[in-house]
């Protein structure tokens, strides 16, 4: 049943995988969407598929100007921004001897700095409006200590700590914040691993699908005003972490 028809949802990393699944789910529930990713053709194809009220912005979420541009676009097209889903992320892994040091800055900028910046930009606007929901996509990797994944896991753990702190700071303002931590999910995030001759983590277990994570995001969003679900972990049945 469509019950988000009065809401405007902004989704980052929306061109594929979990982001696209969240867009489909929220669109089906009646939300108006503002979608961003770097690949314009993917965004245009998704907007055409959804067919509802959708605005797109082809941009790099790591660009410091992008969150403000997203907020301005949401206000210009739909008059508000009620929901922010910080989904964009990249994965780089590898042992000490071969880890690509050049990829560290991109991971920090996309997986952490952009999440913090967008959360603050939208939280300020939501506080002024007296309502809003911020959902940050983390990973069960935030709680896994294993060789080669320290940068990715460390950044996701930082996202979770930041989100918890933001949630507490926003208590009483009408704005809620929480995170969803997916387990092993089949998406393009493993393409870099596979390109470097490593098996993707989704090859070890029967993985989750992006739609599973979209349902978890909706569960967090769907809570009534007097309730908050700040953390949702979704594991693939075969995950043993």
User: Which CATH number covers residue 182?
Assistant: 3.40.50.720
Domain assignment present for residue 164? The answer is yes
Domain assignment present for residue 144? The answer is yes
Sign of CA dihedral 139, 21, 12, 16: positive
Q: Residue 33: what are its φ and ψ, rounded to 5°?
A: -120, 145
Query: CA-CA distance, 67 to 123, in Å (whole number)?
Result: 11
pTM score, whole prediction: 0.92
Domain assignment present for residue 238? The answer is no
Domain total in the chain:
1
Domain assignment present for residue 34? The answer is yes
Domain that includes residue 39, residue range = 8-228
Catalytic pick among 112, 120, 152, 235:
152
Active site annotation includes 235: no
Contact 43, 36 (CB under 8 A): yes
Query: CA-CA distance, 57 to 41, in Å (whole number)?
Result: 11
Domain assignment present for residue 209? The answer is yes
Domain assignment present for residue 62? The answer is yes
Contact 90, 189 (CB under 8 A): yes
Quick one: angle between helices 210-221 and 17-28, nearest 10?
50
Domain assignment present for residue 3? The answer is no
Domain assignment present for residue 237? The answer is no
The tens place of each residue's pLDDT in the chain, 241 residues long, gives 457 988 999 999 999 999 999 999 999 999 999 999 999 999 999 999 999 899 999 999 999 999 999 999 999 999 999 999 999 998 887 788 888 898 899 999 999 999 999 999 999 999 999 999 999 999 988 898 887 788 989 999 999 999 999 999 999 999 999 999 998 887 655 565 555 566 555 555 678 899 999 999 999 999 998 999 999 999 988 776 6
């Amino acid at each position: 049943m469509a019950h988000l028809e009065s809401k405007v949802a902004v989704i980052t990393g929306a061109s594929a995988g979990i982001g696209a699944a969240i867009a489909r789910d929220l669109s089906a529930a009646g939300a108006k969407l503002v979608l961003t990713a770097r690949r314009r053709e993917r965004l245009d194809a998704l907007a055409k598929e959804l067919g509802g009220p959708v605005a797109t912005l082809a941009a790099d979420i790591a660009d410091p100007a992008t969150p403000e541009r997203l907020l301005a676009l949401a206000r210009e097209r739909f008059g508000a921004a009620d929901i922010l889903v910080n989904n964009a992320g990249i994965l780089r892994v590898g042992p000490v001897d071969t880890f690509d040091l050049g990829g560290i800055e991109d991971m920090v900028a996309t997986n952490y700095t952009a999440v913090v910046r967008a959360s603050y930009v939208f939280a300020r606007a939501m506080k002024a409006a007296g309502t809003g929901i911020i959902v940050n996509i983390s990973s069960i990797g935030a709680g896994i200590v294993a060789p080669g994944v320290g940068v990715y896991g460390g950044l996701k753990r930082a996202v979770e700590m930041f989100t918890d702190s933001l949630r507490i700071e926003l208590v009483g303002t009408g704005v809620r914040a929480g995170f969803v931590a997916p387990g092993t999910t089949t998406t393009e995030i493993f393409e870099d691993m596979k390109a470097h001759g490593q098996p993707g983590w989704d090859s070890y277990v029967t993985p989750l699908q992006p739609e599973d994570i979209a349902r978890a995001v909706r569960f967090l969003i769907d809570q009534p005003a007097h309730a908050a679900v700040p953390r949702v972990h979704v594991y693939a049945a075969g995950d043993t972490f």
